[in-house]
Amino acid sequence: MGGGLGQEEPGESGHVDLGGLLDTTAQVYPTLAADQPRGSPGYAADMAKAADDLRAEVLALPAQERARIASDLLASLDSEAVDEDEIDRLWSAETQRRAAMLESGDAGTLTWGDIEQRFAERRAQRGA
């Protein structure tokens, strides 16, 4: 593994081990979480500063390293548990909201022909 930030070598997975970067962050901000209770204004401000500083460091990396970090971050989001019942509840509420808008007249519908006509009009305006 390389010695400095952005010099890490990809592992077998093709992803960079961020352990060195995280160790560096812990050295720079060793007391952030310990000094402030989670949820306190001081904690939030310290964590925001840490995130901003980390973001600046990552943005200074070469594009290939940033892409690897972005891939790792996105994969970490995908791995979080999804509450299917909550998703169903939210979609149901959205469907009901849209139906109510249609019934009240606050929203309307378009036919496919209407949509095609609007696109044709826009294309004609651009060509003029």
Beta bridge partners of 10: 16
Locus of tokens 């009240």: 104
Structure token pair of residue 53 = 């500083």
- In the chain, how long is the greatest CA-to-CA distance? 64
User: How far apart are alpha carbons 120 and 128 in whole angstroms?
Assistant: 12
Residue 41 Cα to chain centre, angstroms = 23
In the predicted model, what is the mean pLDDT of residues 72-84? Answer: 80
pLDDT tens profile 105-114 = 999 999 999 9
Q: Give the pLDDT confidence of 85-98 residue by residue, as tens digits.
A: 888 999 999 999 99
- Structure-block tokens of residue 2: 């390389």
**27-48 confidence digits (pLDDT tens):** 544 444 445 555 666 667 788 8
